[in-house]
Structure 1
């Protein structure tokens, strides 16, 4: 039983909507175009640095998902400075195509109230998702805390769906006033379809015409948030499965609050989950008896699973409980640490080390992966051991 959930999966669901919602795709296209204009020329980058001294523009990356929130943040809080830099490029650059594109971005995109509202919405969403994702990738993250973080994230999206749009409109209006932009949604051209002589006139009269603001709320804001809620609930169903199986072992407080019937039922369910064919890791009835005794022996304080396991190490007669807690604590919350290990390969196995053998590569990879453990090793002791085993006779010349 493993949890193969990549750290970037939490952020990935947000960007899947780009393939369906054209406006969301266009939004990130504008973000990338702004960065590209300045990044492709040292002179234009100098203009950017003169106008934007704090947060630097970031490109979108297909592998580094945190770049999304970083790229949006730089424009969200410095949009006036970025717009001024684009206008300056539009006046001074030697390339007519770049001048035209810079002016278009400054006046049409950054001067569009709809884009300002989208900027506020995406920053709120990306910041919250990135915050939870970073927590899930921490080395000391445990399963019960991860489940609570995911529940809070889903709750945030549900509340944001109800109250987030008016707040985003209010913030975007303040930004529009600073930019001297009319804080109204641009009115789109209505497409009138020619009616045929045999067409039912009542059907066309029943069509409800939405305002541009309501259309943006339904087709953009609600679409993105609903995609987020649905994807979160779907992707993290396995978390709920683990909670149903191991939830009674998460904390000592929860364990001590269970009655005997509920505790016995949970132990039997855990035995079934850890059974393969005729072999099983624990005996449910024995685990039940051990946990009944353990409930009375644990101190009167809230202990997490790792603390309970440390307590069980000092006891030799809780064999099933010891196995159950070891299995619980070896279930990975994410595989971010494994991904980091593979990322080290491109640093170790470069084109300059083309003749490296597998043994040396394994050794370097192990040193890079276990660098925290390596810092605690006493090198002097290792050198003495190595010298004693590899000592050679020296020929002394008289």
Structure 2
């Protein structure tokens, strides 16, 4: 049986007879058992009307008696006499004869919806007011409907742009524009909206070009930055944070962030932007920071803190960025980023201690041998599955990461026998002499007690520094609280420097040595004292009596060195101001005399606080904590202030200002590091030609996900439409 076509659904005698349709709404049964029609000549397939078509095409009317579909809107328009047909056979099928070609139902319905006849019917039945015959009003009403549809389409385009920017997904694909991620997402959303699909099929005014994308991205990013600027301006004081990063196209980039404290005494760190610079000289970086503050409408007179790394261009005493900013605003205290400082302290300890330096160098060589060779990586996975399936895998030692040293050494200890078997098996399949020598060298070092002692001791010490580093990266942590954590960590490391602690460590080490098959410890070769030290000295020099004494000496040296390195790196000039601020609060709460600290603070922050009012309010703070069972610290005072309502805080408003000055100074440049990682995610090898403006806008929207979610797209599109008259004529007013 031949398939039923759209034009042969009824006899020629009744082809121009209007069907009897309901007056109010089309018949759309969703639970009707639609009859099957055969289609095809050689291979017959039975198909039926689909109830899902009602959702996509709300104008469909289904005749259950004849199994035919009609266009309810077109039939109503013809009945009014305002719609005249001129021999359009395909469109007549939806009006007179009925449509029944279910094989091509979706395509047929879509073509009819996009036809001029259907659009005219919509204007007659829906768009044009029925109560007036004024032509001007009819045309104006039709224009309003068209503009409303255009605005909805533009809003969907903007939503797609916002989604891709928020998720950090590339807009382009690896083919032409039609295959790009952006266009495919647009077409995906158009499947549920026939009006949007018709908009995309235009030859012009589609508003999907890369230029339009850039313009909308800029408007969205500017709105996010305006929101951040209003937030920082509201709470007055802020701190500057900056870091440098090189992107995939080998351009030097400077990331700028701001830290501020709200009325609830909660710190907020916000990424502001990324700037490409030709040089990282201090003068250029200062100009970038000044330009950023100018664009954000933030006076530098309210800058109370700076946090950068310890490079000479940033922390130089004479011409560094911190020094130049301090010349303009002396109250902008510079804090060497605690994360960088701790990383440098750990690096100093490792470099100046032979046994730790050798242990980490050999571990880094292992990382290269395993990770740079798929063959050795496969051998390692096979051996690990056979010998230690339940043990965590080997973790690469990355010299530039702050918190992976201890975990990498721990993974070596757990996989010791697996790694030894790996070097032995890998030597049999390697033909390159250089690689073979490296494998033999690593295997030899793993057999020595010195290396084993170094990784076990390094893992014990670096666990404390890695844990401290993770804590210092909390954006809510203030510089004063960070110093307390540093002191606590140093005290903990100092407690390990006892003979009893070493004895426990030594017993644990010997137990592991027996399990891993490492050689026994031995005394180092005795060396004669140099002649220049022998003159006038009767001492024969110190020689340990046993291997345990020799390694105990190195154990104590490592602990002394890591504690001294941390204390040296964290003994910063800016901490003097912080310490005085903190002592004013703590000593007052404890009822102790703080006259010297108070005089320093009043003199340093003379324009920020009312000295006479502050002294009066400090007495109130003393009275509040006079009955405390324990000595209150800074956090106790902060918690008390948070518990007060805003009107109640007016009683001790100057104390609140002091606490804000403490909290606004950051401990670690914690926001710049994730932002730098976001740069590498956005500007990849395939996106290396991205312009600086587009990168900056994408980065703002990607980093500030919550603010991007809360973005008012209507306001952005209102600014977009107001750019020229053509857009206003096309979209009207949002």
Length-normalised TM-score, structure 1? 0.80
Do structure 1's residue 273 and structure 2's residue 604 form an aligned pair? yes
Structure 1 counterpart of 2:659, from 300, 325, 328: 325
The answer to whether residue 422 in structure 2 is matched with residue 89 in structure 1 is no
Matched, 1:40 2:372: yes
**Deviation of 1:350 (Å):** 4.9
| Stretch deviating more after TM superposition (142-151 or 342-351) | 342-351
Q: Within 2, Cα distance between the matches of 1:70 and 1:95? A: 31
> 23-32 or 95-104: which moved more?
95-104
**Cα deviations by residue, 1:89-139 (Å, 9 ceiling, x for unpaired):** 234444455445434433x32222222221111001111100011001112
How do residues 127-142 of structure 1 correspond to structure 2 at under 5 angstroms? Answer: 127-142=463-478
- Structure 1 match to 2:556: 222
Of the three residues 399, 415, 419, the one matched with 1:78 is 415
Q: Which residue is 1:245 aligned to? A: 580
Q: Which moved more, 1:151-160 or 1:93-102?
A: 93-102
Matched ranges for 1:271-350 at <5 A: 271-275=602-606, 280-296=607-623, 303-305=636-638, 308=641, 311=644, 313-314=646-647, 315-316=649-650, 318-350=652-684
5+ residue gaps, structure 2, are 1-332, 629-634, 722-726
Inter-partner Cα distance in structure 2 for 1:191 and 1:303: 57
Choose which of 471, 482, 494 in structure 2 pairs with 1:146.
482
The residue aligned with 2:715 is: 385
CA distance in 2, matches of 1:38, 1:353: 30
Give the distance between the partners of 1:204 and 1:318, measured in 2 at CA.
68
Match of 1:22 in 2: 354
What CA deviation, in whole Å up to 9, does each residue of 1:203-257 have, x standing for no partner? 6773332244433333x32332222111222222248635531224667xx6432
* Counterpart-to-counterpart distance in 2, 1:366 and 1:249: 39
Distance across 2 between alignment mates of 1:300 and 1:338? 43
Partner in structure 1 of residue 343 of structure 2: 11
Q: Report the alpha carbon displacement of residue 156 of structure 1 after superposing the two structures with TM.
A: 1.4
Match among 437, 447, 458 for residue 111 of structure 1 = 447
What is the rounded CA distance, in whole Å, between the counterparts of 1:329 and 1:354 in structure 2? 40
Structure 1 unmatched runs, 5+: none
Q: CA deviation at 1:312?
A: 6.8
Q: Deviations over 1:177-206 (max 9, x none)?
A: 112334x323444456999xxx98x96773
CA–CA distance in structure 1, aligned partners of residues 645 and 524 of structure 2: 68
**Structure 1 CA distance, aligned partners of 2:523 and 2:583?**
56
More deviation in 385-394 or 173-182? 385-394
- 2:334 alignment counterpart: 2
Larger radius of gyration: 2
Cα distance in 1 for residues equivalent to 2:585 and 2:414: 41
* Shift of residue 46, structure 1, vs aligned partner: 0.8
Moved more, 264-273 or 77-86: 264-273
Structure 2 Cα separation of the partners of residues 5 and 37 of structure 1 = 33
What is the CA–CA distance in structure 2 between the aligned matches of 1:60 and 1:348, rounded to whole Å? 25
| Number of residues of Structure 1 aligned to a counterpart in Structure 2 | 376
1:124, 1:365 → 2: CA distance? 39
Structure 2 SS opposite 1:2: strand
Partner of 1:177: 514
Query: Is the CA contact (8 Å cut-off) linking 1:274 and 1:281 kept in structure 2?
Result: yes
User: Deviations along 1:57-93, whole A, 9 cap, x unmatched?
Assistant: 3343332122322321210222122222222223444
Structure-2 separation of matches of 1:73 and 1:364: 39
Distance 1:19 1:395 in 2: 66
Whether the 8 Å contact between 1:120 and 1:168 is mirrored in structure 2 is no
SS at match of 2:339: coil
Secondary structure in 1 aligned to 2:404?
Answer: helix
Match of 2:426, SS state, is: helix
Distance in 2, Cα, partners of 1:349 & 1:139 = 25
**Cα contact 1:248–1:266 (8 A) shared by 2:** yes
Q: Is the 8 A contact 1:112 1:181 kept in 2?
A: yes
Q: Structure 2 CA distance, aligned partners of 1:330 and 1:192?
A: 57
1:283 CA displacement: 3.1
Is 2:526–2:543's contact at 8 Å kept on the other side of the alignment? no
Determine the C-alpha separation between the residues in 1 that align with 2:537 and 2:588: 62
CA contact (8 A) 2:588 2:621 kept: no
- What is the CA distance between 1:386 and its match in structure 2? 3.6
Instruction: State the SS of the aligned residue for 1:73.
Output: helix
CA 1:2/1:188 → structure 2, altered by over 3 Å: closer, same or farther? closer
Partners of 2:701 and 2:471 in 1: CA distance: 25
Distance 1:165 1:240 in 2: 34
Distance across 2 between alignment mates of 1:94 and 1:355: 44
Q: How far apart, in 1, do the equivalents of 2:690 and 2:418 lie?
A: 50
Taking a change above 3 Å as real, the CA distance of residues 287 and 193 of structure 1, as seen in their structure-2 partners, is closer
CA contact (8 A) 2:452 2:518 kept: no
Equivalent of residue 63 in structure 1, options 390, 400, 415: 400
Which structure is higher in helix share?
A: 1
Question: Taking structure 2 as the reference length, what is the TM-score of the superposition?
Answer: 0.46
Q: State whether residues 267 and 285 of structure 1, in contact with CA within 8 Å, keep that contact through their aligned partners in structure 2.
A: no
Equivalence for 1:258: 591
Q: Residue 118 of structure 1: SS of its match in structure 2? A: helix
Q: CA RMSD in A?
A: 3.5
Q: 1: distance between equivalents of 2:371 and 2:399?
A: 18
